[in-house]
A = this chain, B = another copy of it.
Amino acid sequence: MEIKQQIRLAVDAIVFGYEKNTLYVLAVQQKYGVFKDFWVLPGGFIKDDEPLITAVKRELLEEAGISVNYLEQLNTYGDDVHRDSRGRVVSVAYFALVNPQNFVLKADTDAKDAKWFPIDKLPKLGYDHKEMVDLAHQRLKGKLTYQPIGFDLLDDEFLFSDLENLYCSILEQDIDRRNFRKKILSFGIVKETEKLVKMRASGRPGKLFKFDKDKYDSLLGENFQFEIKFA
């Protein structure tokens, strides 16, 4: 292994949060470099002895003080040799969902400013990060329909209308309340609790529901397919 590469490896994360019918993306403000004062996705170079996934989690903790609920690899950006003006940088982008508990950003060790932006009000992002957000957004929309990841954006216990509004607002579609409930309940992976709460300012209180992950995992074994389609 004589040949030395002049390539550096980084990770970036597209972190989605959801609150009040709005989908948010996490961005941080650059303090140095070409993109000083620009908003970019949280991320950074990986250490020599650090697994990729560890690097992402570390960066998220350092830059925004959050830990995420769901994390998966999205895509590796390495076709544009000049995507970073400092030299050849290849970046592995991760797709993440954060649950509302972690939605509030803690003070960050890196002294960078971290902030949630509604996805349709994102500022101009540095590097090719807009491209990453777009891809992640597509993935989110796609996965919502064939994997129960929506629950990772909600509280542990939620109203059925929360789930419905989440699907409705992220997929930008109207949903029939009765059909939606029928479909979700037919999977048997969401269970009703006994708690009746009034979460809204007005209206009748609703029951809280929980995602039954164990049940889902066990169903996965036997030809079970989660899928939500709409009219």
Chain A interfacial positions (CB closer than 8 Å to B): 1, 3, 5-9, 45-46, 48-54, 73, 75-76, 78-81, 86-88, 90, 92
Contact = CB atoms under 8 A, between A and B. Distances in A.
B52 A90 contact: yes
Contacts of A46: 5, 7, 78
Contacts of A87: 1
A46 B46 CA distance: 18
Nearest to A92: B76
For chain A, what secondary structure do more than half of its interface residues adopt (helix, strand, loop), or is it mixed? loop
22 contacts: A1-B8, A1-B86, A3-B45, A5-B48, A6-B48, A7-B8, A7-B48, A9-B78, A9-B90, A48-B88, A49-B88, A51-B78, A51-B79, A51-B81, A52-B76, A52-B78, A52-B79, A52-B90, A73-B75, A73-B76, A76-B92, A90-B92
Contact of A9 (B7, B53, B54, B86): B7
Number of copies: 2
Closest 9 interchain pairs by CB?
Answer: A51-B79, A52-B78, A76-B76, A6-B48, A1-B86, A76-B92, A7-B9, A53-B79, A5-B8
Contacts of A90: 9, 52, 92
B92 A50 contact: no
A198 B83 CA distance: 53
Contacts of A49: 81, 88
A49 B88 CA distance: 8
A9 B6 contact: no
